[in-house]
């Protein structure tokens, strides 16, 4: 028993020496590890110093008042619901992007009989914006047709109406906070026209060679003058104020460099109106197809609008032609 005790004591003594050596080595190693310093405070965030000017009537920072916010707060939960504005018809309120593109300066397709609205949303103009009218007018076309229609005739809350009004009056901003400039398209020349005698008794454009609708119309050789009436429209300029207005006639289908030109003027016939040019066919070749093109400008574009163009389908170019025989 005594021998066993001595053996255990000796083992403990040896282990103690080993432990002491391990502790000494650990302490030496710690001398090479940099001491930890106290963590510094978080650096100042300069964005906290930005003063977000709130110029809206209900506490929304101006730089947050964009289509993304409008879509999240109103359009998505109220309008982009099954059976409503989910891409089946415009406006399309499925996303902020589709909402913006089908509202801001988007042409109106359903107007009331007076045709007072041109765009669904006009930046900075609630009175001219169809969207605001549909949300606030109980009877735009029919009784109780105020939007949204899931609650027939029941308007949005005043807070939401104020939000829509604030968005429009602060520029109807896109997802980046930018205001869209008003589009300015070139004039559009109608594919249709009328060629009539100067006494309005004969419609030459109604009589086509071989009775084919897109063939040249026929002008008798005895005719010394006739009228060509054309319709043109522009997104910002009335037909009355369109400029240049030249009807050109050439014996070559796609070469009008040496064409004969006739100036057209705005003319009213009863309740209708045209840009009318007086053509003198006796100065043009007989028994040959003569092609017409119309050139017009809205006063804001460098190049004149041309119709038909070289790339226009052949049957339209032939429809815009005549033959003297």
DSSP string, 263-282: EEEEEEETTEEEEEEEE-GG
In this prediction, residue 42 has a pLDDT band, given cuts at 50, 70 and 90, of: confident
Lowest mean pLDDT of 96-100, 140-144, 308-312, 314-318, name the range. 140-144
Q: Are 275 and 229 in contact (CB under 8 A)?
A: yes
Q: Which tokens go with 315?
A: 């049957």
pLDDT at 99 over 70: yes
At 1 the pLDDT is 47
Query: Looking at the predicted structure, is the pLDDT value of residue 32 above 60?
Result: no
Q: 280: which residues sit within 8 A by CB, 6+ positions away?
A: 224, 225, 262
Q: What is residue 13's predicted lDDT score, i.e. its pLDDT?
A: 47
Q: What angle do CA 159, 165, 167 make, to 5 degrees?
A: 105
Residue 28 has pLDDT above 60, yes or no: no
Element (H, E) at 190: strand 188-197
Rounded CA separation 110/130 (Å): 10
Could you say which DSSP state residue 283 is in?
G
Lowest mean pLDDT across 56-65, 111-120, 228-237 = 56-65
Q: CA-CA distance, 152 to 84, in Å (whole number)?
A: 13
Output the average pLDDT for the chain: 85
Please state, in angstroms and as integers, the Cα–Cα distance from residue 60 to each residue in 49, 52, 178, following that order: 18, 9, 17
| Angle, CA 166 vertex, CA 74 and CA 100 arms, to 5° | 55
CA 257: distance to chain centroid?
35
Q: Does the pLDDT at position 194 exceed 70?
A: yes
For residues 217-226, average pLDDT? 96
Nearest to 189 by CA among 261, 246, 122: 246
Mean pLDDT of 284-304: 96
H-helix or E-strand containing 290?
A: strand 289-297
Average pLDDT over residues 81-89: 81
Domain boundaries defined on the chain: 62-169, 188-324
Looking at residue 155, what is its pLDDT? 83
Task: Render 224-262 in DSSP notation, one character per residue.
Answer: --EEEEEEEE-SSS-GGG-EEEEEEEESSTT--TT-EEE
Rg, the chain, Cα only: 39
**188-324 has which CATH code?**
2.60.40
- Report in angstroms the alpha-carbon separations of 213 from 30, 62, 80, 206, 217: 100, 58, 46, 9, 9
Tell me: cis bond preceding 96? Omega within 30 of 0 counts: no
Q: What counts of helices (H) and strands (E) characterise the chain? A: 6, 9
- What pLDDT is stored for residue 44 in this prediction? 80
CA-to-CA dists, residue 305 to 131, 134, 187, 296, 312, angstroms:
32, 36, 7, 5, 13
Instruction: Give CA–CA dist 88/84, Å, rounded.
Output: 8
> Is the model's pLDDT at 31 over the cut of 80?
no
Q: What is the pLDDT of residue 150?
A: 62
Q: Any idea which of 4-8, 102-106, 131-135, 320-324 has the lowest mean pLDDT?
A: 4-8
Q: CA 152 to CA 93: how far, in whole Å?
A: 19
Per-residue pLDDT band for 12 (boundaries 50, 70, 90) equals: very low
Split at pLDDT 50, 70, 90, the class of 26 is very low
Predicted local confidence at residue 25, as pLDDT:
46
Q: Quote the pLDDT of residue 30.
A: 44
């Amino acid at each position: 028993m005594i021998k066993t005790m001595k053996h255990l004591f000796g083992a403990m003594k040896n282990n103690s020496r080993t432990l002491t050596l391990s502790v000494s080595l650990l302490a030496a190693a710690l001398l090479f590890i940099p001491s930890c310093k106290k963590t510094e405070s978080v650096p100042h965030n300069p964005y906290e110093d930005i003063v977000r000017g709130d110029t809206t009537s209900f506490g929304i920072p101006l730089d947050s008042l964009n289509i993304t916010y409008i879509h999240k707060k109103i359009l998505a939960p109220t309008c982009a619901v099954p059976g409503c504005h989910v891409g089946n018809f415009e406006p399309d309120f499925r996303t902020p992007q589709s909402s913006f593109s089908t509202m801001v300066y988007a042409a109106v397709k359903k107007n009331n009989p007076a045709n007072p609205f041109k765009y669904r949303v006009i930046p900075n103009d609630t009175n001219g914006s169809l969207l605001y009218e549909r949300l606030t007018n109980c009877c735009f076309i029919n009784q109780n047709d105020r939007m949204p229609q899931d609650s027939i005739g029941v308007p949005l809350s005043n807070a939401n109406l104020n939000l829509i009004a604030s968005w429009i009056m602060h520029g109807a901003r896109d997802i980046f906070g930018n205001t869209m400039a008003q589009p300015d398209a070139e004039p559009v020349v109608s594919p249709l026209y009328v060629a009539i005698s100067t006494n309005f008794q004969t419609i030459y454009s109604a009589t086509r060679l071989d009775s084919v609708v897109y063939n040249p119309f026929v002008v008798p050789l005895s005719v010394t003058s006739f009228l060509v009436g054309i319709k043109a429209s522009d997104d910002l300029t009335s037909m009355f104020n369109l400029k240049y207005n030249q009807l050109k006639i050439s014996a070559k289908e796609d070469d009008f460099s040496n064409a004969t030109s006739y100036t057209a003027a705005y003319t009213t016939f009863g309740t209708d109106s045209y840009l009318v040019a007086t053509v003198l066919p006796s100065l043009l070749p007989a028994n040959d197809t003569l092609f017409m093109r119309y050139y017009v400008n809205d006063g804001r574009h460098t190049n004149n609008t041309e119709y038909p163009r070289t790339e226009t389908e052949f049957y339209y170019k032939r429809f815009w032609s005549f033959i003297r025989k």
